[in-house]
Amino acid sequence: MPKKIKAGFYSLSCCEGCEIVMFDLEEKFLKVLNFVEIVEARLFDGKHPKEKLDIAIVEGCVESDVDKKHLLEIRARSKYLVAFGACATIVGIPGIRNALPLEMQKKLKRKAIIPVKEKALPLSAFVKVDALLQGCPAFTHEIIDVLVKIYHGIVPSLEEVPVCNECKERENPCLLFEGVPCLGPVTYAGCKALCPSEKAQCIGCRGFTKDGNFEALREKFQEMGTPKKEIQNLFTYFNKDPFTKEEGEK
């Protein structure tokens, strides 16, 4: 029997929905266990052995000193670290507060946690991230793909194509031509165009592409008569405002 790789699943500030997706693997999960030993996962057994890991899969963003300390400790004992889901990769829903007007941010009650910063931050703001599992939640087929590749010593890479490519593959009519503001042209593919295939707009849960033409897309939304506030909300629902440059932090 080939040696198994040791893996751990961890949650920072999030809903833990991505980790629950692991259970959607059903029988495929048993096959994963043929080459992966899950040595730590709160939802599975609650054990915390603190041993060295081949791969750590971390969901959630960093919002507190507790999150930061936990993340640094995980990174220190892991050969590979995978950001798991939208909160970990692009901050996701918790990051909505990052786009709030300063006056409103000052009114937020911060008694529950003491933030590391005034903003929620992705894992990459503090540690090296070796691979991304995007989406809200992440997709089971991509989880398996990452585990298989790392088992064979291959570091997964992000495919630089937008959701539009998958819409074309599925022969979906373009929602933009139907007057629906959709972020498919500037959002990473990999979801098999799940939302547009059901006539629902893409809201960018897999993160924005590096070469997305955001200005042209915003102008298209304006031509369609989309209210200015709705456009702003759409661009910042999951992602950092692409029209506002901010200095990155480590």
**Residues 74, 117 share a domain:** yes
Does residue 245 fall inside a structural domain?
Answer: no
**Residues 124, 61 share a domain:** yes
Q: 243: closest CA among 221, 223, 213?
A: 213
Of 96, 118, 151, which residue is a domain's last? 151
Question: What number is the average pLDDT over the span 217-231?
Answer: 96
Cβ–Cβ under 8 Å, residues 99 and 243: no
Residue 131 has pLDDT above 50, yes or no: yes
Of 93, 119, 151, which residue is a domain's last? 151
Q: Could you tell me the pLDDT band of residue 10, with boundaries at 50, 70 and 90?
A: very high
**Residues 144, 90 share a domain:** yes
136-190 pLDDT per residue, tens: 999 888 999 999 999 999 998 888 899 999 999 999 999 999 999 999 999 999 9
**Total domain count, the chain:** 2
Tokens of 37: 């030993």
Orientation angle between helical segments 228-236 and 214-223, nearest 10 degrees: 140
- For the domain that residue 124 is a member of, what is the CATH number? 3.40.50.700
**Residues 128, 181 share a domain:** no
Domain encompassing residue 94: 5-151
Does residue 241 fall inside a structural domain?
Answer: no
Does residue 157 fall inside a structural domain?
Answer: no
**Residues 142, 167 share a domain:** no
**Residues 88, 134 share a domain:** yes
Percentage of residues in the chain with pLDDT exceeding 70? 90
Give the span between the Cα atoms of 162 and 185, in whole angstroms. Answer: 6
Does residue 248 fall inside a structural domain?
Answer: no
Tokens of 51: 């041993």
Q: How far apart are the first and last CA of the chain?
A: 41
**Residues 219, 146 share a domain:** no
**Residues 14, 52 share a domain:** yes
The amino acid occupying position 223 is: E
